[in-house]
């Protein structure tokens, strides 16, 4: 199976977690794109979706799935999203697609986070994938220096602006042994909007696709 076929298998397995009649949270990325395609087949069973990015909104809209603003919702029963890395404690690095801030907001109001991944995303220690950090543009150099002082090698994502009008620093060279502590530490840097560590609010369910099938961890 190709990596994309594995992503699709994990994504379709997540349809089992979609409650009847609910508004659900929908993430971003190529794995989530397969989930949205699958959602289209059962769209009459859901009330709508809160999306974490303009890209996912466009895909949902194309299928006629009603988009709901998070400002009109207090809580979501489930949020389905991918990850760039996930560890044994279900802490994740996310934001390779640059949608980390909206993803973190939607995850924060969701009762259950269902993470959909192919098996290559499962790691013992987070950090091989560069940690995305969204920053206010005028703070980029300051935040870079602070991240370097924490042991990382920040690289500005060239030619990229987030849906919120900000910049992304991708921090290389990290081995994150304390994901919660590091998430908190990076959030303390003035000018950081969000960092891509999802440790305080990690996943609740992991659907991990390997050639032998989709493993479910809860």
Enumerate the active-site residues. Answer: 103
Cα three-residue angle 105-199-130, rounded to 5 degrees = 90
Choice from 15, 19, 22, 30 touching ligand ABF (CB under 6 A): 30
Residue nearest to ligand ABF (CB): 29
Choice from 97, 152, 191, 202 touching ligand ABF (CB under 6 A): 97
Quote the least distance from Cβ 95 to ligand ABF, whole Å: 5
57 binds ligand ABF, rule: CB under 6 A: no
Instruction: Check if the beta carbon of residue 112 is closer than 8 Å to that of residue 204.
Output: yes
Quote the least distance from Cβ 145 to ligand ABF, whole Å: 25
SS3 state at 43: helix
Choice from 94, 102, 140, 202 touching ligand ABF (CB under 6 A): 94
Return the range that interacts with ligand ABF (CB under 6 A); candidates 90-98, 171-179, 184-192, 199-207.
90-98
Return the range that interacts with ligand ABF (CB under 6 A); candidates 26-34, 147-155, 160-168, 169-177.
26-34
CA 39 – CA 41 distance, rounded (Å): 5
- How many residues at the interface with ligand ABF, by CB under 6 A? 15
Quote the least distance from Cβ 14 to ligand ABF, whole Å: 12
Instruction: Check if the beta carbon of residue 84 is closer than 8 Å to that of residue 127.
Output: no
- Enter the tokens of residue 149: 């002082």
134 binds ligand ABF, rule: CB under 6 A: no
- Residue 209 sits at φ, ψ, to 5 deg, of -95, 125
143-163 per-residue burial string, b: 16 or more CB within 10 A, e: under 16: bbebbeeeebebeebeeeebb
29 binds ligand ABF, rule: CB under 6 A: yes
SS3 state at 162: coil
- Angle at which helix 54-62 crosses helix 30-40, to 10 degrees, equals 20
Return the range that interacts with ligand ABF (CB under 6 A); candidates 35-43, 62-70, 76-84, 167-175.
76-84
SS3 state at 112: strand
Q: Which residues here bind ligand ABF, judged by CB under 6 A?
A: 27-32, 81-84, 94-97, 103
């Amino acid at each position: 199976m190709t990596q994309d076929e594995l992503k699709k298998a994990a994504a379709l397995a997540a349809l089992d977690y979609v409650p009847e009649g609910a508004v659900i949270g929908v993430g971003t990325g190529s794995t989530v794109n397969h989930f949205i395609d699958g959602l289209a087949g059962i769209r009459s069973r859901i009330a709508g979706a809160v999306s974490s990015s303009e890209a996912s909104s466009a895909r949902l809209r194309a299928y006629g799935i009603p988009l709901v603003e998070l400002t009109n919702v207090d809580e979501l029963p489930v949020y389905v999203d991918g990850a760039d890395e996930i560890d044994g404690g279900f802490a994740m690095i996310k934001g390779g697609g640059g949608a980390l801030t909206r993803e973190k907001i939607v995850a924060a109001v969701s009762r259950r986070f269902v993470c959909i991944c192919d098996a290559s995303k499962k790691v013992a220690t987070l950090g091989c994938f560069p940690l995305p950090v969204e920053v206010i543009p005028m703070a980029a150099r300051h935040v870079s220096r602070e991240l370097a002082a924490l042991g990382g090698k920040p690289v500005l994502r060239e030619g990229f602006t987030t849906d919120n009008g900000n910049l992304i620093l991708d921090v290389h060279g990290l081995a994150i042994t304390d994901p919660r502590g590091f998430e908190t530490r990076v959030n303390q840097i003035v000018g950081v909007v969000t960092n891509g560590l999802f440790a305080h609010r990690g996943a609740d369910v992991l659907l991990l696709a390997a050639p032998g099938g989709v493993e479910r961890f809860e």
